[in-house]
Structure 1
Amino acid sequence: MKIWAIVSDFPKVTETFALANVQAFRNAGHKADVFHIKPFRSAEIVHPEARGIVDDALHLGYAAPRTVLLAALAAIRSPLRTARVIRRIVGAFRAEPRHLGISLMLLPQGLALGQLARRSGVDRLYAEFAGYPATVAWIASRTSGIPFGFSAHAHDIFITQGLLDVKARAASFVRTISDFNRRFLVQKACVSQDKIHVIRCGVAPERTQSALPVAPTEGEPFHIVFVGALLPRKGVDVLLKALSHLPKTLNWRLTIVGGGSQEASLRVAAEDLPDGCVDFLGALPSDQVQQTMAEAHLVVVPSIEGEGGRSEGIPVVLMEAMAQGRPVIASRLSGIPELVEEGLTGWLVLPGDARVLATRIEQVFGNYQGSLGLAAAGQARVRAHYNIEQNAAELLALIEGD
């Protein structure tokens, strides 16, 4: 079977699950490739295991001559379906001009993709996100007849629900990563519950074999790690505020892995903390991220709800940290409590509450042996339910079963 997986940005270090899925499809014997909507991100870190998929990736420029020609052919061949697609888009986003404009801008690309996929013998289209990737897949499917399905992760359904019900009815399946998202899709987007399948993201099973950490020795700092994009919705500023509330006698250090628009302001904020206690490492290859987590006593994911409803789904960094047996503290947000269960597999705090986060960090430090018991339970949960190979196989079964 020939499968094209559609994403927006590519490659993107925070969306390694998309590459993992395509690799799993290939491992199962299918011809699977990535189609990316936006131009190639040449400055992004590409992990060695993903190089082949990245090199084979497909793209059509928004208004490139080839795109325009293929789109015109699609419109000529299916004028009524093209007209219905346009009418649906306009109706869905009449009150949301920004989303209307972007969706119409993607119309030629979607029409062109349908023609290109049909000529290339593609059997299935799969959109990794419910927003613009699913819109492009839906347009391509409507005008080419190739079945499509899509996944729903986080802000791709939280920011706007326009067109979601239309795409869901036309799709062969809707996959989402959490029960929280499933309820949201049913209640807010009027998607039929029977159409939605909950399949988690996950991590490689070999990463769940790590030994638990040991408590800091006398004089050794308590090592806290944050991994993620340095954006407002990631809540790193909340973490820095929390650290300012810790007792002066607590010996700690924080390692921040990742880059982003907030880096400069976060570095300024870190200057108010004890000298030399905060290290900014920038974006790192996956093996170095894993090594940094392996050196952590605690991993913190202090996410908040971002502008326009942007929010976490279930962050892969949490799965990775728990797979390695690291104690975790995370925000009670979206589907996170389905992975981090308060007092059982980790600790939860209200998003944005720096003082409560500080209290939790102090409690973990003060009873580290108890913390390791929760970390072991968290590792077992990831091992049982967040296995990327198992979950990619379930997703593939949905795609094959169209």
Structure 2
Amino acid sequence: MPTRKTVLIYRNELLPISETFIKEQILALTEWRAVLVGCRKLKQLALEDLDVRIVEPQNRSLQSRLLWKANKLFGTVPPYIKRALQVEQPSLIHAHFGPDALDAWPIAKALSIPMLVTLHGYDINTYREWWEAGSGGSKMQSYPRRLLELSAQPRVRFIAVSDAIRGRAIEYGIPAEKVAVHYIGIDVNTYTPGPIPITQRPPNVVFVGRLVEKKGCQYLIEAMASVQKAIPTARLIVVGDGPLRPHLERLAQTLGTHVEFRGAQAADYVKRELHAARLLSLPSVTAENGDAEGFGLVLLEAQASGVPVVTSARGGAAEGVLDGVTGHAFPERDVRALAARLTSLLKEDNVLQRMAEQGPIFVSEEFNLSYRARLLEELYDAHAVSPQ
């Protein structure tokens, strides 16, 4: 059996709990060996089952920190890091998120290997003017210019997580021929329908996501105020945390909406909530700075679990849901339309049941992680170099 090629998977911080999808994508690879590379190791997502390399110096002396900063400033890689990664004989580097790609490119250059960059959402949707005004911090003011300079490199290609993201990347100035769409997918053996039939569950609507502007949770709380007038036993379960939580709690109290805020939770907890819910709603919007949902993997997780979805997520609403078959799409910020969709589905058991049955079929056929991983490996094959 031929030796597998090696891809370096790059993310500056390894790995936030919200990025389980990166870990699962790595574990789904069969033809390629993946080495996860980053600057810092977070104590969030368990990485024991992955091959991990930390490139930031573990020696925190003043001299080592100054040397590291100097290398970053000049876009170079310290010799000891180059030697350590050369041992892996990589054929390709795959960076997740645009800002991280800027830090990964010096590594790719030092190793003389091509680079693929996955654009997920904020890294391409956020308005250039927002970055350039320094709203993302002084270090990120040049991000738009540097990203476009990176896109001009012959050995750099981009992956968009949805058609919507690809369109935005082209609009941003990245050459169309350099951007391919690749859906991430989910493990359909992990997300399966629960033991309680959908129509026998209490009328719970679940929201899963960070409590930030682009997730649009406030519109769901406003819609649920109307839903609960028609269906007094309906409840909204919010799984997630973020800077807007105090505001959202006050909003629910003001409107008299029955909302249970559960905070950030692990994947197993989310699965249990899906198995207890009738609907999942992801009412995402375009934030003031342009940031928007790239896709919304929780939509796939819900449908695979036999839970119909109601969403306005850019990308997800058009590509990740069969409107009228596995759920409903609605326009951003349209509280009345959202409330009408939720109320209708909570009342119409026959429609709810049909959607619950179609969801797992749709996800299994289009977004099965093992299938998507094979397609990703084909992209790797197309862009890789032979091992040194």
C-alpha deviation, 1:392, in angstroms: 1.7
For the residues of structure 2 that align with 1:373 and 1:181, how far apart are their CA atoms? Answer: 30
For the residues of structure 2 that align with 1:263 and 1:284, how far apart are their CA atoms? Answer: 15
- Assess if the C-alpha contact under 8 Å between 2:77 and 2:110 holds in 1: no
What is the aligned counterpart of 1:52 among 49, 53, 67? 49
1:245 and 2:226 correspond: yes
C-alpha deviation, 1:299, in angstroms: 0.3
C-alpha deviation, 1:266, in angstroms: 1.7
Query: What percent of counterpart residues are identical?
Result: 24
1:344 and 2:345 correspond: no
1:16 and 2:20 correspond: yes
- Assess if the C-alpha contact under 8 Å between 2:209 and 2:239 holds in 1: yes
Equivalent residue letter for 2:179? I
For the residues of structure 1 that align with 2:58 and 2:339, how far apart are their CA atoms? Answer: 47
User: Greater CA deviation, 198-207 or 8-17?
Assistant: 8-17
Partner of 1:270: 252
1:125 and 2:93 correspond: yes
Partner of 2:157: 173
Report the TM-score, using the length of structure 2 for normalisation: 0.82
C-alpha deviation, 1:315, in angstroms: 0.7
Q: String of CA shifts for 1:193-225, please: whole Å, max 9, x gaps.
A: 2x33222111112145426963555xx741110
Q: State the Cα RMSD in Å.
A: 3.0
C-alpha deviation, 1:172, in angstroms: 5.0
For the residues of structure 1 that align with 2:199 and 2:256, how far apart are their CA atoms? Answer: 19
What is the aligned counterpart of 2:109 among 112, 136, 142? 142
- Assess if the C-alpha contact under 8 Å between 2:282 and 2:311 holds in 1: yes
Residues 147 and 279 of structure 1: is their aligned pair in 2 closer, same or farther, counting only changes over 3 Å? same
Partner of 1:95: none
For the residues of structure 1 that align with 2:361 and 2:150, how far apart are their CA atoms? Answer: 36
What is the aligned counterpart of 1:260 among 229, 242, 248? 242
TM alignment of 1:22-101, pairs within 5 A: 22-25=26-29, 27-28=30-31, 30=33, 32-37=34-39, 39-42=40-43, 44=44, 46=45, 50-53=47-50, 56-60=52-56, 65-66=63-64, 69=67
C-alpha deviation, 1:290, in angstroms: 0.8
What is the aligned counterpart of 1:210 among 175, 187, 193? 193
Partner of 2:334: 353
Residues 153 and 2 of structure 1: is their aligned pair in 2 closer, same or farther, counting only changes over 3 Å? same
Residues 266 and 144 of structure 1: is their aligned pair in 2 closer, same or farther, counting only changes over 3 Å? same
C-alpha deviation, 1:308, in angstroms: 2.1
Partner of 1:78: none
C-alpha deviation, 1:243, in angstroms: 1.2
Q: Residue 173 of structure 1 aligns to a residue in which SS?
A: strand
C-alpha deviation, 1:319, in angstroms: 0.8
Partner of 1:156: 123
C-alpha deviation, 1:328, in angstroms: 0.5
Equivalent residue letter for 1:20? E
TM alignment of 1:373-384, pairs within 5 A: 373-384=354-365
Equivalent residue letter for 2:214? R
- Assess if the C-alpha contact under 8 Å between 2:205 and 2:235 holds in 1: yes
1:198 and 2:198 correspond: no
For the residues of structure 1 that align with 2:74 and 2:80, how far apart are their CA atoms? Answer: 10
For the residues of structure 1 that align with 2:283 and 2:321, how far apart are their CA atoms? Answer: 13
Unaligned runs of at least 5 residues, structure 1:
76-103
Q: String of CA shifts for 1:32-64, please: whole Å, max 9, x gaps.
A: 222234x4333x3x35xx4333x8352416996
- Assess if the C-alpha contact under 8 Å between 1:67 and 1:112 holds in 2: no
- Assess if the C-alpha contact under 8 Å between 1:223 and 1:254 holds in 2: yes
- Assess if the C-alpha contact under 8 Å between 2:305 and 2:359 holds in 1: no
TM alignment of 1:108-119, pairs within 5 A: 116-118=84-86
User: Greater CA deviation, 175-184 or 324-333?
Assistant: 175-184
TM alignment of 1:189-338, pairs within 5 A: 189-193=173-177, 195-207=178-190, 209-210=192-193, 214-216=197-199, 221-246=202-227, 248-250=229-231, 251-274=233-256, 277-338=258-319
For the residues of structure 2 that align with 1:337 and 1:274, how far apart are their CA atoms? Answer: 32
Report the TM-score, using the length of structure 1 for normalisation: 0.79
Partner of 1:88: none
Number of residues paired by the alignment? 359
Equivalent residue letter for 1:297? R
Q: Residue 247 of structure 2 aligns to a residue in which SS?
A: helix
Unaligned runs of at least 5 residues, structure 2:
129-143
For the residues of structure 1 that align with 2:103 and 2:307, how far apart are their CA atoms? Answer: 39
Q: Residue 146 of structure 1 aligns to a residue in which SS?
A: coil
User: Greater CA deviation, 314-323 or 133-142?
Assistant: 133-142
For the residues of structure 2 that align with 1:9 and 1:118, how far apart are their CA atoms? Answer: 21
1:183 and 2:167 correspond: yes
